[in-house]
């Protein structure tokens, strides 16, 4: 003989529920089948974020070798329409360095932001020849100058940059570039050494 043993608490709860819904009219059965909607496929959010970041980086730091950056160790660039003689003069230290920016030790994001601010500052103050120190990469992960090529790429994207080259040894050598910027309507501010 089986005993049906119902817990007192559950029986009491069931009676309370029936009493509370006793005046409710049940809905008529529609005869339609209720189908479960398919669950959405999982979205790889992190992978999508990584892909967007990679795309953003590739667009911002695209290496445009065809427009004047030499593929050797020494960086140099001259904008189309500017004579090669201008680059030679820049290499020889023909123009006085009027301002400088030291980026070594900074992250890529910090360096890029400071470079943009520095170039704006130079335009406002009429600086034509400046030095940007990017470092030699001696403290970087693979002892490679991470900022060196990034700075070159960023400079090539700026309209105000006419030319740049690796600094002379006395001005920082392979850890810096000397940049020639566009001047205003008056080019008299562009000083030369020995003039």
19, part of any domain: no
55, part of any domain: no
24, part of any domain: no
Q: What is the pLDDT of residues 105-156, one digit of tens each?
A: 888 889 999 999 999 999 888 999 999 998 876 565 665 667 888 899 999 9
84, part of any domain: yes
| CA dist., res. 54 & res. 59, Å (int) | 9
Provide the residue range defining the domain that includes 99.
65-181
pLDDT given at position 63: 44
Q: What is the mean pLDDT of the chain?
A: 78
Q: How confident is the model at residue 99 (pLDDT cuts 50, 70, 90)?
A: very high
How many domains are there within the chain? Answer: 1
Q: Say how many C-beta atoms besides its own lie within 10 A of residue 10's C-beta.
A: 9
Q: How far is CA 116 from CA 29, 65, 161, 162, in A?
A: 69, 21, 12, 15
Q: Which CATH number does the domain housing residue 83 bear? A: 3.30.1370.110
| CA dist., res. 136 & res. 105, Å (int) | 10
Q: Which tokens belong to 178?
A: 């000397």
For residues 65-79, give the mean pLDDT: 61
- pTM here is 0.57
Asked whether the predicted pLDDT for residue 52 surpasses 50, the reply is: yes
């Amino acid at each position: 003989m089986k005993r049906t043993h119902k817990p007192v608490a559950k029986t009491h709860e069931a009676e309370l529920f029936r009493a509370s819904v006793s005046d409710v009219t049940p809905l008529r059965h529609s005869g339609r089948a209720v189908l479960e909607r398919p669950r959405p496929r999982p979205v790889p959010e992190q992978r999508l974020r990584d892909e967007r970041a990679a795309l953003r980086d590739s667009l911002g730091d695209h290496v445009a070798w065809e427009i004047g950056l030499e593929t050797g160790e020494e960086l140099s660039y001259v904008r189309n329409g500017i004579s090669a003689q201008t680059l030679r003069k820049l290499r020889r230290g023909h123009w006085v360095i009027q301002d400088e920016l030291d980026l070594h030790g900074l992250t890529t994001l910090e360096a890029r932001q400071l470079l943009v601010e520095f170039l704006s500052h130079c335009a406002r103050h009429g600086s034509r020849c400046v030095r940007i120190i990017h470092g030699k990469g001696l403290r970087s992960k693979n002892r490679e100058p991470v900022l060196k090529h990034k700075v070159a790429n960023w400079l090539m994207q700026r309209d105000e940059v006419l030319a740049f080259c690796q600094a002379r040894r006395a001005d920082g050598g392979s850890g810096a570039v000397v940049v020639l910027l566009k001047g205003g309507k008056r080019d008299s501010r562009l000083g030369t050494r020995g003039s």
